[in-house]
Amino acid sequence: MTELVSTAAVQYPVESLPELWFAFVFAVLGAYLLLDGFDFGVGMLYARADGDERETMHAAFGPVWKANEVWLVLFGTVLFAAFPAVYANVLSRHYLLIFAILAALVLRGIGSKLREERDSDRWHRVCDRSFVAGSTLAPFFLGMLVANWRFGFESTINGTAIAVGLLLVTLSVVLGASFLTIKTRGDLRRTMRRYGRLGSVGYVAVSLATIGYIALAEPGGSPAPSTAETAAAVGGTIAFAALGIVANRRRRDYGWALSVAGLALVFVGYLAWTMRPFVDPAAALSIREAVVSPVALEVNSIVAVTFVPLIIGYFVLLYSVFSGPATAGDY
């Protein structure tokens, strides 16, 4: 009781500052899922491409994929800066998943960067398989980590974690197809449009299956999402998927990309909205209980307001410079 009173008595320069940082954590996570998600999708779609198409796909995402991983680093930094107890708890409970995510990212990097180091068909096959495997496993393991965090699981492997992992894999395929539709031309572009339509339908199906499983299993140590929250998420997912398919068929590629980004927004928004007021359900830590002291949070806010706009400006510049269509000769 004393702890609750003292927590409630803490004063912040802006009263809602802890909740704003909670939202900021998930905004950064959403940016990473969106930007590196299409990289993962490119890697998975790479398995269906031939030689020239693979060169074009490498050229399409090559200038930006390493920069996109900045958002993963920023996510860890922001979580540690605002909620260090949550950072410690989640990483210690699921450290094997963290290592699995890093190993998958290494596999993807090896496959992409070392492919041209040797002029050997066998070497190229090894690197290509590494690239596809890393691009598939990274979002799967990331989805497992997110599910375990949200639902407060102590164990790493469970049905909900696997379902959310598959959900993120499917979302990444749709993101990758949308990105390649903007960055490529000709037959490859038409193929990506077709994969994107199929992937959108698949994402809705996997979303419904995942939500149904969660509703039946009532998993983890935190309360299950309410019916109204789930209905809003399902409605938003179906609406963005439908708008995306319509834009896809009408060849409005940027409209389709915005709709696919909406799918990622709904996923992260549902995750954050249904987690609150907790930030670590497994430890029953609320946002106010887990946040750092007012002075530390105020300093963090000053740093964030200073540097985050610079990061965003850099990405705007980066994507502006590499905004045109890619060709196999660019790789």
DSSP string across 308-331: HHHHHHHHHHHHHHT-SPP-GGG-
Question: Is 122:243 a contact under the CB 8 Å cutoff?
Answer: no
* 7, pLDDT greater than 70: no
Cα separation, 330 vs 248, whole angstroms: 26
* 1, pLDDT greater than 90: no
Element (H, E) at 244: helix 227-249
Q: Which pLDDT value is given to residue 258?
A: 95
Residue 323 lies in a domain: no
Q: Which pLDDT value is given to residue 213?
A: 87
* 135, pLDDT greater than 70: yes
Residue 312 lies in a domain: no
Please provide the average confidence, as pLDDT, over all residues in the chain.
89
Q: How confident is the model at residue 62 (pLDDT cuts 50, 70, 90)?
A: confident
Residue 220 lies in a domain: yes
Q: How many domains does the chain have?
A: 1
Could you read off the pLDDT of 97-111 as tens digits, one per residue?
Answer: 999 999 999 999 888
Tell me whether residue 131 is exposed, middle or buried, using C-beta atoms within 10 angstroms of its C-beta: 0 to 12, 13 to 18, 19 or more: buried
Q: How confident is the model at residue 212 (pLDDT cuts 50, 70, 90)?
A: confident
Residue 238 lies in a domain: yes
Q: Which amino acid is at 247?
A: A
Residue 147 lies in a domain: yes
Within 8 A by CB and 6+ apart from 261, the residues are 34
Percent of the chain with pLDDT over 70: 93
Question: What range defines the domain where residue 233 resides?
Answer: 14-299
Closest by Cα among 145, 139, 114, 146 to 129 = 114
Q: Which pLDDT value is given to residue 215?
A: 79
Confirm whether pTM is higher than 0.85: yes
Q: Which pLDDT value is given to residue 32?
A: 95
Residue 100 lies in a domain: yes
Rounded to 5 degrees, φ, ψ at 280 are: -145, 85
Residue 305 lies in a domain: no
Cα separation, 36 vs 133, whole angstroms: 15
* 5, pLDDT greater than 60: no
* CA-to-CA separations, 99 to 51, 73, 95, 161, 168, in angstroms, rounded: 32, 15, 6, 16, 18
Residue 130 lies in a domain: yes
Of 31 and 221, the one with more pLDDT: 31
Q: Which pLDDT value is given to residue 331?
A: 54
* 3, pLDDT greater than 70: no
* 221, pLDDT greater than 80: no
- Residue 47 maps to which CATH number? 1.20.1630
Within 8 A by CB and 6+ apart from 325, the residues are 183, 184, 185
Average pLDDT value for residue range 160-183: 95
Question: Is 96:103 a contact under the CB 8 Å cutoff?
Answer: no
Q: Which pLDDT value is given to residue 227?
A: 84
Cα separation, 33 vs 71, whole angstroms: 9
Of 15 and 186, the one with more pLDDT: 186
Closest by Cα among 255, 259, 268, 254 to 241 = 259
Q: Which pLDDT value is given to residue 156?
A: 85
Cα separation, 232 vs 263, whole angstroms: 13
Q: How confident is the model at residue 322 (pLDDT cuts 50, 70, 90)?
A: confident
Cα separation, 28 vs 68, whole angstroms: 11
